[in-house]
Chain A
Amino acid sequence: MDVVQIVAIGLMATVLIGVLKSQRPELAVLLSVAAGVILFLLVLGKIGSIVGVITDLSNRAGISMVYLGTIMKIIGIAYIAEFGAQICRDAGAGAVATKIEFAAKILIMVLAVPIVVAVLQSLLKLLGEAG
Chain B
Amino acid sequence: MEVIRNLVQSLVIIIILAMFLEMLLPAGQMRAYVKMVMGLLVIIAVIQAVGSMARWSFEEIPALVAGTGDGGGQLPEILEAGKRISARQQELGIEQYRQGLAQQVTALVKLNQGLPLLDVEVSVESDSGSPDFGQVKEIILTVSDNPKQTSPAPGGTEPVEEVSPVTVQIGSSETPEREEAVPPQAAAGIVDVLTNFYNIQPEQVIIIYR
Contacts and interface: CB of A to CB of B under 8 A. Distances in A.
Interface of A: 50, 53-54, 57-58, 60-63, 67-68, 70-71, 74-75, 77-79, 81-82, 85-86, 101, 104-105, 108-109, 111-112, 115-116, 118-119, 122-123, 125-126, 129-130
A112 B37 contact: yes
Interface stretch (B11-19, B123-131, B149-157): B11-19
Main secondary structure of the interface of A (DSSP, over half): helix
Contact of A57 (B13, B28, B54, B55): B13
A89 B55 CA distance: 53
A81 B41 contact: no
A71 B28 contact: no
Contacts of B100: none
Contacts of B45: 61-63
Nearest to B30: A78
Nearest to B51: A126
B40 interface: yes
A101 B21 contact: no
Nearest to A104: B30
CB-based closest 7 A-B pairs:
A78-B30, A122-B47, A61-B13, A57-B17, A112-B37, A82-B28, A82-B26
19 contacts: A50-B24, A54-B20, A57-B13, A57-B20, A60-B10, A61-B13, A61-B14, A63-B41, A63-B45, A68-B41, A75-B34, A78-B33, A78-B34, A82-B30, A101-B28, A115-B40, A115-B41, A122-B43, A129-B51
Given A57-B16, A75-B34, A129-B55, A101 B48 contact: no
A118 B29 CA distance: 26
B24 A61 contact: no
Interface string B22-57: 001111111101101110110111011111101100
Main secondary structure of the interface of B (DSSP, over half): helix
Contacts of B58: 129
Contact of B44 (A54, A67, A105): A67
A122 B48 contact: yes
B66 to A, nearest CB: 20
Contacts of A118: 44
Contacts of B44: 63, 67, 115, 118-119, 122
Contacts of B37: 70-71, 74, 108, 111-112, 115
B17 A61 contact: yes
Given A75-B21, A78-B30, A125-B51, 20 more contacts: A50-B24, A54-B17, A54-B20, A60-B10, A67-B41, A67-B44, A70-B37, A82-B30, A105-B33, A108-B37, A112-B37, A115-B40, A115-B41, A116-B40, A119-B44, A119-B47, A122-B48, A122-B51, A126-B51, A129-B51
A119 B10 contact: no
Q: Which one of A50, A63, A81, A119 has the highest number of Cβ atoms from chain B below 10 Å of its Cβ?
A: A63
Contacts of A111: 37
